Amino acid sequence: MQKIRVDNFSISIDGFGAGQAQTLDNPIGRNGMDLHQWFFPTDTFQQMVAGRPGEKGIDNDFASKGLEKAGACIMGRNMFGPVRGDWPDDKWRGWWGENPPFHCPVFVLTNHARAPIEMEGGTTFHFVTDGIHAALDRAKQAANGRDIRVCGGVSTIRQYLKEALIDQMHIVITSAILGTGEHLFNGIDLLKLGYKCVQVTPSGKVMHTIIVKDQ
Amino acid sequence: MQKIRVDNFSISIDGFGAGQAQTLDNPIGRNGMDLHQWFFPTDTFQQMVAGRPGEKGIDNDFASKGLEKAGACIMGRNMFGPVRGDWPDDKWRGWWGENPPFHCPVFVLTNHARAPIEMEGGTTFHFVTDGIHAALDRAKQAANGRDIRVCGGVSTIRQYLKEALIDQMHIVITSAILGTGEHLFNGIDLLKLGYKCVQVTPSGKVMHTIIVKDQ
């Protein structure tokens, strides 16, 4: 069955999924990189960005599974880039270079229309200006029965979560403390929405949790 | 050096340290018991409540250390009991029977004065009506150089935390999801207050974290 899922999403001990003040140099906000220290040394990440081996084990198993090709992805505009407001030009093509790691259609939620961008490796960025439901409909159609990954950021996940549209979440609880930023679950009653934790796998560095919606 | 510390304090994936609607039958609020499922099977807890052996290992090591006799304890009135408002009589003597597991002076924060209660095993409950600083001063004096444990609940820990009065916290991140309740860190900027996580020890069931204040 086609699932709407979140993978490899890291939060701090105090519950933040991103820091404050995103900039070009600091795409996950202040101290946001601390959330991903478990991810960077993994073989999956090292092979992807540097073509060299990295660490194997539990963290790598999750990292790898969380990057498996999905049928389609959805992300918020701030995850796509640091540009705010109208697009000044077509220069910004995402953080990931010419061959982004998605390899499928990616639907970017935005209020500012823009023509699709076809990248290398099967990724095409589509800009959706008519809301989360429209984006999900388009993603479902494009995914052709495969899973749809809601990549982030925090605000995008929260919007889908509040309507219980996410079937499964892999949330990584890290040892980072952010103090401020974007809180993933604040004000969202996961129990009432029907979510429960069905798996906890500690790795030594972090705790991997799988949260699913009751069917 | 004498430390002000929190031990064995469990939170849910969504950050709650207690559920909603505390009652006599449900002292940690709705689903609050889910937070302590790692604790109940430990040898420390089983020996304490049933006089029989329980599970050894990482969880037990933390449980045991977190129950070592302190010099003094501080707790909120709701942790002491379900009675609200004026004390109707002297019947309520805590949740823990005649020999509570503290074995030291315990300072209970309340707006309603009451004479001290001397229990078996060295525990005396003192009721402090002039605020958290007065309670801490009295605890320091009573502790005679030993550590002071802030037992809880959430509201009490938050009050001391907001003023950076806690030196060390052992926070247990569990697989529970509560949805609603009392959030431990919400609105508290731990980084700004000078806290950092210095240890993460996963047990298979939970993630034990040690958070300390920079000196």
ipTM, two decimals, is 0.85
Split at pLDDT 50, 70, 90, the class of A50 is confident
Q: Which of B190, B202, B209 sits opposite A204 (nearest CB)?
A: B202
Tokens in use for A113? 């229309």
Split at pLDDT 50, 70, 90, the class of B69 is confident
Residue B132 has pLDDT above 80, yes or no: yes
Angle, helix B131-143 to helix B154-162, in steps of 10 degrees: 90
Chain B: give the shortest CA distance to residue A192, in Å: 7
Position A36: which residue type? H
Using a CB-CB cut-off of 8 Å, the residues of chain B touching A177 are 190-191, 195-197, 211
- Are A185 and B15 an interchain contact pair (Cβ–Cβ within 8 Å)? yes
Contacts across the A-B interface (CB distance below 8 Å): 85
Q: Which of A11, A170, A191 to mutate to test the interface with B (most CBs of B within 10 A)?
A: A191
Split at pLDDT 50, 70, 90, the class of A137 is very high
pLDDT above 70: percentage of residues in chain B = 99
Q: Domain A4-82+98-213 belongs to what architecture?
A: 3-Layer(aba) Sandwich (3.40)
Angle, helix B43-50 to helix B58-66, in steps of 10 degrees: 60
How far is it, in rounded angstroms, from Cα A96 to Cα A108?
14
Chain B: give the shortest CA distance to residue A156, in Å: 17
Total H helices, total E strands in chain A: 5, 11
Chain B: give the shortest CA distance to residue A191, in Å: 5
Chain B: give the shortest CA distance to residue A199, in Å: 8
B188: nearest CA partner in chain A: A179
| pLDDT (mean) for B194-202 | 95
Split at pLDDT 50, 70, 90, the class of A12 is very high
Split at pLDDT 50, 70, 90, the class of B204 is confident
| pLDDT (mean) for A5-9 | 97
- The region of weakest confidence among A112-116, A202-206, B135-139 is A202-206
- Are A13 and B192 an interchain contact pair (Cβ–Cβ within 8 Å)? no
DSSP string, chain B: ---EEEEEEEE-TT-EEE-SS--SS-TT-TTGGGGGTTTTTBHHHHHHHHSS--B-SHHHHHHHHHTS--SEEEEEHHHH-S--SS-SSS----SS-SS-TT-SEEEEE-SS----EE-GGG-EEEEE-SHHHHHHHHHHHHHTTS-EEEEE-HHHHHHHHHTT---EEEEEE-S---SSSEESSTT--TTTTTEEEEEEEE-SS-EEEEEEE--
pLDDT of the residue at A127: 97
Using a CB-CB cut-off of 8 Å, the residues of chain A touching B29 are none
> How is residue A42 annotated by DSSP?
B
Split at pLDDT 50, 70, 90, the class of B29 is confident
- Are B180 and A189 an interchain contact pair (Cβ–Cβ within 8 Å)? yes
Under 8 Å between Cβ of B139 and B107: yes
Contacts of B122 (CB under 8 A, 6+ apart): B102, B103, B104
pLDDT of the residue at A48: 87
Using a CB-CB cut-off of 8 Å, the residues of chain A touching B192 are 179-180
Would you say how long chain B is, in residues?
215
Q: Which of A62, A161, A177, A193 to mutate to test the interface with B (most CBs of B within 10 A)?
A: A177
pLDDT in tens, A73-122: 999 998 998 888 899 888 999 988 999 999 999 999 999 999 999 999 99
Q: Which of A178, A186, A190 sits opposite B186 (nearest CB)?
A: A186
| pLDDT (mean) for B4-19 | 96
Residue B27 has pLDDT above 90, yes or no: no
| pLDDT (mean) for B179-196 | 96
Chain A: give the shortest CA distance to residue B101, in Å: 29
CA nearest to B66, candidates B126, B3, B7, B150: B7
pLDDT above 90: percentage of residues in chain B = 80
CA nearest to B207, candidates A29, A201, A44: A201
- Fold classification of B4-17+28-82+98-213 is Dihydrofolate Reductase, subunit A (3.40.430)
pLDDT of the residue at B176: 95
Residue B24 has pLDDT above 80, yes or no: no
| pLDDT (mean) for A120-143 | 97
Residue A23 has pLDDT above 90, yes or no: no
Chain B: give the shortest CA distance to residue A129, in Å: 31
Q: Which of A13, A189, A207 sits opposite B179 (nearest CB)?
A: A189
Q: Which of B30, B161, B177 to mutate to test the interface with A (most CBs of A within 10 A)?
A: B177
pLDDT of the residue at A108: 97
Task: Provide the strand spans (E) within A14-115.
Answer: 16-18, 72-76, 105-109
- In chain B, domain spans: 4-17+28-82+98-213
pLDDT of the residue at A204: 85
Chain B: give the shortest CA distance to residue A63, in Å: 19
Q: Which of A14, A195, A196, A213 to mutate to test the interface with B (most CBs of B within 10 A)?
A: A14
pLDDT of the residue at A29: 75
Using a CB-CB cut-off of 8 Å, the residues of chain B touching A205 are 200
pTM score, whole prediction: 0.90
B61 or A21, greater pLDDT: B61
- Which residues of B lie inside 8 Å of A (Cβ-Cβ)? 13-15, 31, 171, 173, 175-180, 183, 185-186, 188-193, 195-197, 200, 202-207, 209, 211
Residue A65 φ/ψ, nearest 5 degrees:
-60, -35
CA nearest to B18, candidates B75, B73, B60, B67: B75
Position A51: which residue type? G
Tokens in use for B25? 């039958």
| Site of tokens 């030594």 | A204
User: CA A26 → CA A79, A81, A82, distances in Å?
Assistant: 12, 11, 9
